[in-house]
Structure 1
C-alpha cells in the first residue's frame, strides 16, 4: 500500500477536484465562512474577530501540510472546471488510535443542498483514506438537526455510535451531537453492493 502521508493531495474527478489548499485560496475560504448563512448556522457575528478566526483556521490547515509525519488532511473542494472553492473536507488522525481518522465536511453556503457534490467529495476522501492512507476506520460527528449529513454517513455504510450534548451553537438550536463510524470493510461492502 503506497504511503501518501507526506505527498501533496490532488484528487481529480470530472465534477470536482480535491487538493491541498494554497495561500491563494484563503480569500475564498474566508469569504464563504463570512457568508451570513454560514455565520447564522454557528451563531457567529459579522465582525473582525470572526474573520480573524476563519483566517487562523485556514492557516492551521496550511500548517498541517508541513508536519512530518502528516496526520491531518484538510483539503479544499473545488469545481473541476472553474476552480471555484466549494468547501473543504478532511481526515484528521492526530490524537486518534492507529489507522483511525475523523472526517469533517463543510460546503460553502452556496452549495448547501447539493447532495451529489457532498457524495462525490465524501466518496473520494474515503477512498483516499482507506486505500492511500491505510485507514481501517473513519469516524465523524454532526448535529442531529443536520439530517443530510447523518443520511450521507449511513448511505456510505456508517453506523451511528453515540448521541451526546453538542457545543453551544448546537444546544441553542435544540440539537445534540451524533457520532458515526465506518470501517474499511463496511465501506467496501456497501461499494460492492451499489
Structure 2
C-alpha cells in the first residue's frame, strides 16, 4: 500500500521517517506511554530507530497496518502517533491506536488525528467499522475515543496481554462511517 500524508487543520499526519527517531525516543520515555502501549520497556534509541526505519515501512508495504506520526503543521514538531494498527480490508475492518507525547497533551492531538485517520480509512480504504481497544483503566485513551465519536460497546475479558505476561480486560469501541459528523 502506498503511504499518504493527511493535513488536518493544525496537524499533519505522515509516516515517520529516519529524522523522527529522536522525538519518538524522547516521547516513549514517558511512563504513561510505557504503561498503556506496547512499546518496549525500557525504550531505547535503537527501538525508536527500528520503529521509524523498519516497522513503519514494513507496515505500509504489507498492507496490514498504516502508522502515522502526528506533527504540528507550522513548526513540524513531532507530537504523537496514530494509525491503523491492524487492517482486514477485504472485510472492511480496521483497528485504530494512538499515543501523544507528554509535551503535546491536552491540545486535541489524539482526537483530531484519530478523526483524520478515520475519515481517510472510511473514504479511501473502504473501511466499514473502525475498532478501538484499550486496557480497562486507560481513561485517557477512552476519553479520546469518546471525543472522536466511538461508541464504547463493552469489555472484552482477558483481551490484552500485560507487560508481566498476564492478561487484562479491555474496553472495546467502534466508529462507523455514519457516526462521523460532517
Shorter chain as denominator, the TM-score bin is: 0.7 to 0.9
Are 2:55 and 1:60 aligned? Answer: yes
Aligned to 2:67: 74
Report if the CA contact (8 A) 2:93-2:130 is conserved.
yes
Report if the CA contact (8 A) 1:34-1:51 is conserved.
no
Aligned to 1:18: 13
Give the 3 Å change call, closer, same or farther, for CA 149–13 of structure 1 in structure 2: same
Give the 3 Å change call, closer, same or farther, for CA 156–40 of structure 1 in structure 2: closer
Alpha-carbon deviations, 1:30-86, whole Å to 9, x = none? 22112455446669654xx6444443333211222333xx33110110011111110
> Matched residue of 2:106: which SS?
coil
Equivalent pairs counted in the alignment come to 178
**Larger radius of gyration between Structure 1 and Structure 2:** 1
Alpha-carbon deviations, 1:73-111, whole Å to 9, x = none? 101100111111101101144457621101001111222
Aligned to 1:89: 82
> Matched residue of 1:145: which SS?
coil
Moved more, 76-85 or 18-27: 18-27
Q: Which runs of 5+ in 1 are unaligned?
A: none
Give the 3 Å change call, closer, same or farther, for CA 40–73 of structure 1 in structure 2: closer
Give the 3 Å change call, closer, same or farther, for CA 53–184 of structure 1 in structure 2: same
* Deviation for aligned residue 1:155: 3.4
Are 2:133 and 1:141 aligned? Answer: yes
- Taking structure 2 as the reference length, the TM-score comes to 0.80
Aligned to 2:96: 103
Are 2:27 and 1:32 aligned? Answer: yes
CA RMSD of aligned residues (A): 3.0
> Matched residue of 1:82: which SS?
coil
Give the 3 Å change call, closer, same or farther, for CA 66–98 of structure 1 in structure 2: same
Q: Which runs of 5+ in 2 are unaligned?
A: none
Aligned to 1:9: 4
